[in-house]
Structure 1
Amino acid sequence: MELTDRHRTYLQDHHAAAMITIARDGMPKAVRVGVALVGDRLWSSGTADRVRTKRLRRDPRCTLFVFDQAYSFLTIEARVTILDGPDAPQQNLALFRVMQGRPTGPLNWYGDELDDEAFLARMTAEQRVIYEFAPTHAYGPA
């Protein structure tokens, strides 16, 4: 399914989300993440060794609950592709530029201001991956 213009507008303004994955025993597991539209793709970031990454490799279904500080929300059911190739550091750079609203210049990373080279090196060292969401259903008053 394609996200509607209304969904896209909401996602441009809201980056806080809960990502719900499915444990081996079928129990849903939630974690807070950041999400953003990078071009026409909905992305989040993680690391190769995170539990949610392992869950998504086993079962790529997840639900995103994107929210604001009041009561509006957007729920997106999706299938996830993990982008972990040699482009992953550059893809993380693009994602965090959108999430931080900084199209150029240094990015903040755990309190440090990093230029592109240092940021890419950090993404490589942390084995950062991109979660790419292919929405199958979306709902909410967003």
Structure 2
Amino acid sequence: MDSSVFTLPNNVQVKYKFSPAKYDCKHLLIVMSGFNIPDPTIYDFQNTLAHCRSNILWITDDFNGLPAYCLCNDMRFDIELGVSKLIDSVIILLDSCHVSILGASKGGSITLYYGIKHKIKNIISVVPQFNIGSYVATGTYWEHVGKK
């Protein structure tokens, strides 16, 4: 399954993958990516969800080659708008009333944000990062993310 790109008029590009439901499952599972080493922008849980029957929308946190917590770069929140529009578009396209969102670590933080914003009833957030600023501060492994 190849990555696709959802592009907004302001040229924000949100990278994602989509796997259609197996059988007649009417559920959508949205998966947000966490930090990974060596590539911090990979899609999470691909192998784990190989047998999942739901429609699955994987959203990677890759903006100009760096993660941005799917929120902003240079304090411009165009990324947040793009991710929200992608989520809304897929929910509308699938006419899906049963939606879950999943993420771990950084992805868990992103999951909480978008789950609450989009009123998704099923939010699965594993070890979310609550102190994001401390996680990307100067002197940490991910400081290059905080500088953008």
Same fold (TM over 0.5): no
TM-score (norm 1): 0.25
Counting strand residues as a fraction of each chain, which structure ranks higher?
1
Higher relative contact order (Cα pairs below 8 Å, separated by 6+ residues): 1
